[in-house]
Amino acid sequence: MRSPPLFGVLVLLAACGSTDTVECEPGFMKKQGRWCVFDEAVLGATADEAIDDSSGAGGSEQTEEAEEYVFEAEAPKVELSLEEIEWAMEEAIRIVRWIDPGKMHDAYAQVEADGDESCPEYDEEYYDDNERYHWRDACTVASGGSFAGSVYSNYYGEYTDENETYDYGGHAFFNGSARVEDSRGNTFIAGGSSSYYERHRTSTGDGTFYQSMSGNYRFDDPSLYGSWLAQDLNVSVYHNSTMYIDDADHYGGGYSVYWNASISGLTGVINALRLSEIFMYSENTGSMCEIEPSGSISVRDSAGNWYEAEFDGPKYAGAGSFPPDCDTCGKVYWRGTLLGEVCPNFELLVDWGERPWL
């Protein structure tokens, strides 16, 4: 049988009226000459001692162990020289022009033609109401290939409009998310929205071009190796431009061009770029400065740092721009720090003939 605890013995003694009490254990004190209770002074000292111990050698060891897991990031630094930044901004113009929407729409028309009567299954009522094709399916074509996903599209191709005002060299619409394998084993993958046209006025030959594209598009057909469709890029491009031929209305010809674009997934010196509201038009159409656009160009290096330059050309048709702003140059900033000036070759924006895409 276990012995009763000391406190219980004291209570029993008190209940029996005994005046003889035992001495209190260390850490306790006598109250009313009979009760043993906790000594708060001793408890306070013990707590203080515990705190003092934690700030000693043991605490230091724990701190050292924690420091082993702390990652000290290197301070960011400028990776590109001004010459490299200038080249990268010219490269950004070339890359944006490289995103030819006609290649994507031609590629989809090619793989879509491999479908048959049952794969994919089209929504006929949707076409009657909207004059655009729509399918949502996951199926295999009898002759080989497959369709999976959902697409709204129309491929108008090359034609002359009903009023014979424009000759279209290409015109198409796509919106959807799909994976299509053609009968030759090539795979087309698309997720996004794209509409575009390229046309020339029948009476003058003046060309107008439009592109609105966003998303990710890929096609591994060997015939497209080297094109942007062979890369894994995320694109967002809006483009509108006009090219005037040399005639009585526009002696010497003329142009206006607008780009608002961002592209990522690139490999090399830059892995992303952005052309923000780049607008440029010719002196023959009224520009006060035809050698420099308005807007900004930004490029991102492999370390993830952006370099941005703002340019001072006319911001809209009829806007003024005078020296020293009209000099093709812009100040470059890196993380808010001025690095200097770059002067890209902006003829790259308008050195095209029949169409603006490379």
pLDDT, tens digit, for every residue of 258-309? 999 999 999 999 999 999 999 999 999 999 999 999 999 999 999 999 999 9
Q: What is the pLDDT of residue 47?
A: 46
**151 DSSP β-pair partners:** 135, 176
* Residue 57: predicted pLDDT: 53
Q: Using pLDDT thresholds of 50, 70 and 90, give the confidence band for residue 74.
A: confident
The full DSSP string for 261-295 is EEEE---SSEEEEEEEEEEEE-GGGT-S-SSS-EE
Nearest to 290 by CA among 253, 328, 260, 342: 328
Q: Is the pLDDT of residue 90 over 70?
A: yes
Residue ranges covered by each domain of the chain: 6-67, 83-349
Q: Which tens digits make up the pLDDT trace of 303-353? A: 999 999 999 999 999 998 877 889 999 999 999 999 999 999 999 999 988
For the stretch 175-211, pLDDT in tens is 999 999 999 999 999 999 999 999 999 999 999 999 9
Q: How is residue 5 written in tokens?
A: 């605890």
Judged by average pLDDT, the poorest of 3-17, 35-49, 316-330, 335-349 is 3-17
Instruction: Say yes or no to pLDDT of 60 above 70.
Output: no
Lowest mean pLDDT among 38-42, 135-139, 150-154, 241-245: 38-42
- Given a cut of 60, is residue 5 above it in pLDDT? no
Identity of residue 313 = G
Q: How confident is the model at residue 15 (pLDDT cuts 50, 70, 90)?
A: very low
What are the pLDDT digits (tens) for 207-265? 999 999 999 999 999 999 999 999 999 999 999 999 999 887 777 889 999 999 999 99
Band (1; pLDDT cuts 50, 70, 90):
very low
Would you state the structure tokens that stand for residue 344, as one six-digit string? 């890209």
Inter-CA distances, 329 with 204, 257, 296, 317, 336, Å: 35, 19, 11, 20, 18
